[in-house]
Chain A
Amino acid sequence: TQLLEQSPQFLSIQEGENLTVYCNSSSVFSSLQWYRQEPGEGPVLLVTVVTGGEVKKLKRLTFQFGDARKDSSLHITAAQPGDTGLYLCAPYPWGGYNKLIFGAGTRLAVHP
């Protein structure tokens, strides 16, 4: 069983602050997707990273895939209340594209 850890579990910050959330495993991944989920809705795809060491930017969000393809991070600059939600990392195991593995997520609350 692959273990996927996301940290921190909860994060409560003020508007304008920066933050980083982490996704770690001892397993190697083919690719990894980040999603944001709001209450009562399905996960919304933010980005896919596929190459070790890759960095992708989406406005104020910066995603990094670890060199060894075992971990990833999401950095948000100048957080806004609209960033509030559950952030989920979901990798494909190495060599397989049958199913995504989900961590428990990081629940972010950004207060005005």
Chain B
Amino acid sequence: NAGVMQNPRHLVRRRGQEARLRCSPMKGHSHVYWYRQLPEEGLKFMVYLQKENIIDESGMPKERFSAEFPKEGPSILRIQQVVRGDSAAYFCASSLPGRDRFSYEQYFGPGTRLTVT
């Protein structure tokens, strides 16, 4: 059973470029969550998506950040015109469709480490 896959594992971008981070959830999981971990800080929720729907984006910066989870293919977190402050580890997690409180267990991928130079 493959776990949550993220790519790339490391991404270097110059200020002003775009960053695209990909996440393939575990097999059978239709819920995807994105979190950001800044250096020496805890994980912070960004966005929660189900197939073709954004359920909760309360943690997403208002500008430059967007996320999608299309019917086919991986979930994408897109950061436009990156700035140095966007340098962080970005983690994707997935869970099953909710039937009980265990269904919402989130399984994390290895993360994408974004460095903005």
Contacts and interface: CB of A to CB of B under 8 A. Distances in A.
B111 A99 contact: no
Interface of A: 30-31, 33, 35, 40-45, 48, 50, 88, 90, 92, 97-105
Interface residues of B, number: 28
Nearest to B92: A42
A88 B110 contact: no
A108 to B, nearest CB: 16
Interface of B: 4, 6, 33, 35, 41-45, 48, 55-56, 58-59, 91, 93, 98, 101-102, 104-111, 113
B107 A45 contact: yes
Contacts of A102: 35, 42-44
A1 to B, nearest CB: 12
B4 to A, nearest CB: 8
11 contacts: A31-B104, A40-B113, A42-B4, A42-B6, A42-B111, A43-B91, A50-B102, A98-B55, A99-B45, A100-B43, A105-B42
